[in-house]
Structure 1
């Protein structure tokens, strides 16, 4: 069974324990966790992204705008995971989410009208790492150490804090 399949089983068990009909995930951290690493954000300084996951026992829905849909399909390859895309023009509100949630016992990863805020429970759930995630973190730690080492060796007297942080960002992006 793949890491993604295990994750979806975990989410469905979480929902069953709480007698939920649906779970709505809007936070960047929840989105990445539920999709095993996909990015819903455009701006890295935000807690919510440009896509929302709506999960029920019978389906996986991804709600996004027309600007982000292609990126999520092609770059993040979320169609391959079985997410059913619901795409609306960027200027419209969350109409699809409201339709999907109509009358459902709904949980969410943050405050949301009509939903139970399960952000703390979901944070604990996300903190439990699978063996694959543990290996990813070890790899990430090594890559971060290499970037910091390389950036630190490149620092020269007289450089500004901005120049040094730019160098670190460059090394981290390589």
Structure 2
């Protein structure tokens, strides 16, 4: 049973290598001829309907007089798979940090509300002028809430910074190339 070719030309495109009496069209072009043609005319990749994902490496190897081996192709496929897994992990980390940041923001809002409530109570107690023991307790509560707010703000900033670093370090998604068979 014939194997599926790695390179398939678009309809109507014919390649005639210099110095030969051979013409190639559609699916009858051998890898060597296609890669030699692409080595000479790199922009001719647009003339192909399908080609291997690693065609650029294959063409470069042909330029250097080497033929790509199946081991090279397997290694490349493994590298692509690893890069894809790394990209997925990076996006998962970004999503997790985003969730943590949102939770911290909610906690910060609650702390701000509690601080505002305590401030209101303190002002109300201060206007009464009774000088009772509640003033000291409210002052301590306000100081505690202020410290909580500062801690939450610092944590929020640290999470934002970590999220930005992860976004910057995350590999960019590459367009899916057609896989070599």
Structure with greater helix share of residues: 2
Structures share fold, TM-score greater than 0.5: no
- Report 1 or 2 for greater relative contact order, CA contacts < 8 Å, sequence distance ≥ 6: 2
TM-score, normalised by the number of residues in structure 1: 0.28
TM-score, normalised by the number of residues in structure 2: 0.27
Structure with greater strand share of residues: 1
Larger-gyration structure (1/2): 2
